[in-house]
Every structure is written in structure tokens, then in C-alpha cells.
Amino acid sequence: MKKQLLIIGGGFAGFWSALSAIRQSRELKKENELEVTLVNMDEYLTIRPRLYEVSLEGLRVELNKYFKQLNIKLMIGKAEIINPEQKLVTVATESGSRILNYDYLILSSGSVLKAINIPGIEKTFNVDTFNGAQKLEDHLTKLAHKNFEGNGATTFIVAGSGLTGLEMVTVIKEKANKILTDQGKDSIDFKVVLIEKSDKVGNYYASEAQDYVIETLKAKDITVANGVYLKAVENNGATLSDGHFIASQTVISTIGLVASSLCNFFKGEKDKLGRLHVNEFLQLKEYNNVIAAGDVANIPTDDEGNSSLMACQFSMFLGKFAGHNAVNSLFSEPLKAYSYKDYVTCVDLGQQDGMLTSGWDRKLVASGIEGKNIKMEVTTKLIYPADDVITALEDSYPEVPNVAENAV
Ligand SMILES: Cc1cc2nc3c(=O)[nH]c(=O)nc-3n(C[C@H](O)[C@H](O)[C@H](O)COP(=O)(O)OP(=O)(O)OC[C@H]3O[C@@H](n4cnc5c(N)ncnc54)[C@H](O)[C@@H]3O)c2cc1C
């Protein structure tokens, strides 16, 4: 009977877990004793960091392009129940409910947009998933067909000024105008409003980087509403916490991510984002046959209180360790302790503009076109798996440099 390694989620962490597991099983000459199954809601590794972009082309990589050749079984479905005591996972598939058993589980089901409990939240758009980004694009296309006529049609509201919020506000005009151009129409001078709860945008950056962001928003004519939040959303606009109403037919929420709710099937304390605490080998304290990797995992990265963030530079790397350690654990081989240094952030600030910061205090390293080029190098090249399967397999070693090291 082959040992069953089950991976839930085919994002960055799950994809690299699967490849790393196969590579390591080959290295141990145990590939005939192991079956790797990955459950994902669709057939793709979605390049989530690019979902705010002008075009949605090329933002999904077919999992089976790699999996078929490597004998990784892909099951399309939604894992709904995990029973860690009995080592069973219930998956809803198109052809009904399936129950899978596992010897080892890697949970890599990622994150979702934080829910806010306000009237009309269902009327907001998001770029959290490919479907969400597609819905936004379809909506803009519809508005373009009507020449963006009607109350609030030319105003875009973005709630939340995290990195995705900054990217959204600096790109949305270009996206809408590209749709108009494709329809043979003239560009429009759209209005963009950024809503931020705190007193100042970008307070997670060191001061020079924060100033750069604020100046850029000014230069791009983006209105910033500080110290307020969304109170209610209607078809024709949003009401803010100070009672102010802004007419807009497009309200986009980028208010942050929380861990997949599958984390709740496991005992043990979660962090404030709902993530599972893992040890240096990415294992859960209470279960010796479960690893969490990617946005569902919280792992300390140093002795100064910093821990992994919901970001690709962590997810990809965690995935590589996860697959390696799951296989070694199954075959009683030594595990590798995760280590991570050189945290960077890259943000797109629209045409000809981007910014790279370095370290946990996020100090400015590069901006303008230089920052943009680094951001594009990372998101359009470095976070994609190599095109050929063998190179991708080689890249699945935990030691292979992560995005951050490549980025600077
Ligand atoms: C708009 C946006 C911009 C971002 N920008 C950046 C950036 O610039 N830099 C950066 O480093 N990071 C960025 N991120 C964060 C980054 O995308 C995530 O950290 C990364 O995708 C996490 O990888 P993951 O594998 O843990 O999860 P995900 O990529 O979320 O993948 C999880 C997978 O699991 C599947 N899944 C979930 N639940 C189930 C279930 N119950 N059953 C089966 N399958 C399931 C999902 O469909 C998905 O395929 C951004 C995210 C967003 C949304």
C-alpha cells in the first residue's frame, strides 16, 4: 500500500509542495511507495499578485502541465471537512462528495479577502480571486459600452490602502481606458478615491517610502479620504463612516486577507489572521502528520518577533520545505528547518512607477521606473514556475533562492 500524501490547495505553497515532494521521493528512491494527490478548486495555479493588472491574460498556469508528467494526482473540488483524528478529508466535487484518507497532510489552502459586515457588501468588487478580477473587468466593459454615462460611472472607489489598494488605485484608470480604447473609444479622465481608515496612507512603510507613496498618489490625482471607512454600499455609491456619500458605480474592496477557514479544523491557537502556528519544520504542534504552508501558516522568521507574511516570497519557499519535510517524515528521514532572511516588498504604482523596499522596517531601495522594472521582473517572471517540468522540479529544492534574494 502506497503512503498517501494529500495537499489541499494548488496556489504557490501547494504547487511547490507537490513538486518538492515528488523530487524528494525520487531522491530517497521511494517514488513507487508514495502517492501525491492535490485538491484544488480549479485547474490552475493563479498568479494572485497580478490580479489588479490592466490585463488578466497569462495570470493562470495549468497545474496538469506539471502534474501529469510527475504523477501528481489533481482532484478538482472543494475540501469541506477535515477530520485530523481519523486522517480524512471530505471533498465536494462535481460528481458528488468524496472522502480521501491521508498518511500525511499539507494544508495550503491560502487566504481570502476579509469579510466586512456592512449593508451592500455584495455590491463591492475585488481582485482576490481570478473570478473576482474577471467580474470587475466585465463590469468595466459593460460601463464602457455605455460610455461610462450615469451617476458615479466615472468614479472608482478603492477601500483599503495596503499594497493591493495602492496597486489598484494607481492602475484602475489605465485599465478602464484600455477597455475604452479596445472598443475604439476616447479615453476618459476618471476620478479615483482611496479610502483609508487610519490617519495616513502607507504607515507600514519607513518614512521616506511612505512619503514617496503619498507624493505619487498626489501626482496621479488620486483623492485620499483618511480616517474613514465604508459604512454602506449601494448600486450608485458608497456611504463613509463620517456620513459622506460618494457617487460611484465601482467600489472595490482591498481591506486585507485572512487565512482559509480550513485552519479551524485543527486544535491549537491561531494568530489574529486565523493562521496556524507551526514549528521550524512547518508541523502543527498537536499533529505529527500535518504541515501548514503558505498563507495559512505563521512561522517565526527571526528572534525579533517577526514572522512569515501572506506573500509569495514566503508561500513559495514554505511550499518547498513543506513537500520535502512531509516526504522525509513519511520515510523517517531528517527534516529541514525553515529559515528565511531578506524580506522585501515590491509595489506597482502605475505607469512608469513602482517601489522596492527592504527589511522589516520597509526602507526605500528603488522607486520610479527602476522600482517598476523590479516589480515586473518579480511578478511576471520570478514567481512563475519554469516553463519546462524538469527545471521546475530542480527549483523545488528548499535551498533554491527565493524571490526576495533574486529581487535585489
Ligand atoms: C491582489 C493580490 C495582490 C497580491 N500581491 C502580492 C505581491 O505583490 N507580493 C506578494 O508576495 N504577495 C502578494 N499577494 C499575496 C499572495 O498572492 C499570497 O501570499 C499567495 O498567493 C499565497 O499562496 P498560497 O499558496 O498560500 O495561497 P493561494 O495562492 O491563495 O492558493 C490557495 C489555493 O487553494 C485553493 N483552495 C482554497 N480553499 C480550498 C478548499 N477548501 N478546497 C480546495 N482548494 C482550496 C484556492 O482555490 C487556491 O488555488 C497578493 C494577493 C492578492 C490577492
pLDDT one-digit tens code per residue, 129-148? 999 999 999 999 999 999 99
CA–centroid distance, residue 298 to ligand 1 (Å): 15
Taking CA atoms only, the protein residue closest to ligand 1 atom 2 is 49
Ligand 1 in reach of 164 Cβ (< 6 A): yes
Q: Give, for ligand 1, the residue of 39, 41, 48, 357 to mutate: max count of ligand atoms closer than 8 Å to Cβ.
A: 48
| Range 192-221 burial, b when 16+ CB lie within 10 A, else e | bbbbbeeeebbeebbeebbebbeebbeeee
CA–centroid distance, residue 386 to ligand 1 (Å): 19
CA–centroid distance, residue 70 to ligand 1 (Å): 23
- Predicted local distance difference test score (pLDDT) of residue 402: 55
The tens place of each residue's pLDDT in the chain, 408 residues long, gives 999 999 999 999 999 999 999 999 999 999 999 999 999 999 999 999 999 999 999 999 999 999 999 999 999 999 999 999 999 999 999 999 999 999 999 999 999 999 999 999 999 999 999 999 999 999 999 999 999 999 999 999 999 999 999 999 999 999 999 999 999 999 999 999 999 999 999 999 999 999 999 999 999 999 999 999 999 999 999 999 999 999 999 999 999 999 999 999 999 989 999 999 999 999 999 999 999 999 999 999 988 889 999 999 999 999 999 999 999 999 999 999 998 878 999 999 999 999 999 999 999 999 999 999 999 999 999 999 999 999 999 999 998 765 555 443
Give dist(CA 216, CA 195) in Å, integer. Answer: 16
CA–centroid distance, residue 133 to ligand 1 (Å): 13
Taking CA atoms only, the protein residue closest to ligand 1 atom 27 is 110
Ligand 1 in reach of 111 Cβ (< 6 A): yes
Q: Give, for ligand 1, the residue of 37, 40, 362 to mutate: max count of ligand atoms closer than 8 Å to Cβ.
A: 40
- Predicted local distance difference test score (pLDDT) of residue 405: 52
Ligand 1 in reach of 25 Cβ (< 6 A): no
Give dist(CA 193, CA 252) in Å, integer. Answer: 10
Ligand 1 in reach of 108 Cβ (< 6 A): yes
Give dist(CA 228, CA 244) in Å, integer. Answer: 10
Ligand 1 in reach of 8 Cβ (< 6 A): yes
Ligand 1 in reach of 128 Cβ (< 6 A): yes
CA–centroid distance, residue 60 to ligand 1 (Å): 12
Ligand 1 in reach of 48 Cβ (< 6 A): yes
* Backbone CA torsion sign across 271, 273, 275, 281: negative
Ligand 1 in reach of 78 Cβ (< 6 A): yes
HEC per residue, the chain:
CCEEEEEECCCHHHHHHHHHHHHHHHHCCCHHHEEEEEEECCCEEECHHHCCCCCCCCCEEECHHHHHHHCEEEEECEEEEEECCCCEEEEEECCEEEEEECCEEEECCCEEECCCCCCCHHHCECCCCHHHHHHHHHHHHHHHHCCCCCCCCCEEEEECCCHHHHHHHHHHHHHHHHHHHHCCCCCCCCEEEEEECCCCCCCCCCHHHHHHHHHHHHHCCEEEEECCCEEEEECCEEEECCCCEEECCEEEECCCEEECHHHHHCCCCECCCCCEEECCCCEECCCCCEEECHHHEECECCCCCCECCCCHHHHHHHHHHHHHHHHHHHCCCCCCCCCCCCCEEEEECCCCCEEEEECCCCEEEEEHHHHHHHHHHHHHHHCCCCCCHHHHHHCCCCCCCCHHHHHC
- Predicted local distance difference test score (pLDDT) of residue 400: 76
- Predicted local distance difference test score (pLDDT) of residue 71: 98
**Among the atoms of ligand 1, which is closest to the Cα of residue 78?**
42
Give dist(CA 400, CA 146) in Å, integer. Answer: 50
**Among the atoms of ligand 1, which is closest to the Cα of residue 44?**
49
8 A C-beta contact, residue 35 and residue 7: no
Ligand 1 in reach of 317 Cβ (< 6 A): no
Ligand 1 in reach of 109 Cβ (< 6 A): yes
CA–centroid distance, residue 204 to ligand 1 (Å): 21
CA–centroid distance, residue 63 to ligand 1 (Å): 15
Ligand 1 in reach of 41 Cβ (< 6 A): yes
Ligand 1 in reach of 354 Cβ (< 6 A): no
